[in-house]
């Protein structure tokens, strides 16, 4: 047992500790308020990816623009499609265009 650790207590997990999260000004569980406010629950990054996707960019182009790997861009696109309930990139782009014209 580590010195200073009470019997039966687990060491603090600095990454997942809800008290530390609150101290940092974050909610300990669940999405951020900004994500909860979006009608489809898209994160800030997913909204940026959706804008790039609506502009006709491929995963490799999105990755280059954001400084991420193409596989990560592909994962973001997949999450966007699932959250919007659409079947392909064209439908997601149509959603983005409609959303831009009717904020």
CATH number at residue 97: 1.10.10.10
Q: Give the single-character DSSP code of 68.
A: S
Domain that holds residue 60: 39-101
Residues, the chain:
103
> What is the pLDDT at residue 48?
95
Q: E strands along 12-74, which residues?
A: none
Three-state SS for 10? coil
38 by Cβ neighbours in 10 Å (0-12 / 13-18 / 19+) ranks as: middle
What's this model's pTM, rounded to 2 decimal places? 0.67
Nearest CA-CA partner of 73 in 63, 64, 81, 83 = 63
pLDDT tens-digit map of 15-56: 667 677 677 766 556 777 777 767 777 889 999 999 999 999
Neighbours of 52 (CB within 10 A): 22
Residue 4 lies in a domain: no
Residue 68 lies in a domain: yes
Higher pLDDT, 8 or 52: 52
Domain count along the chain: 1
- Residues 14 and 68: their CA atoms lie apart, in Å, by 26
């Amino acid at each position: 047992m580590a010195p200073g650790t009470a019997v039966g207590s687990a060491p603090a997990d600095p990454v997942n500790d809800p008290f530390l999260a609150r101290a940092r000004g974050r909610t300990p569980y669940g999405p951020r308020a900004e994500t909860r406010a979006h009608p489809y629950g898209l994160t800030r990054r997913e909204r940026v990816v959706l804008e790039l996707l609506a502009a006709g960019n491929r995963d490799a182009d999105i990755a280059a623009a954001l400084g991420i790997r193409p596989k990560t861009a592909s994962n973001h696109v997949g999450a966007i499609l699932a959250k919007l309930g659409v079947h392909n990139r064209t439908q997601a782009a149509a959603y983005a265009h409609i959303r831009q014209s009717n904020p």
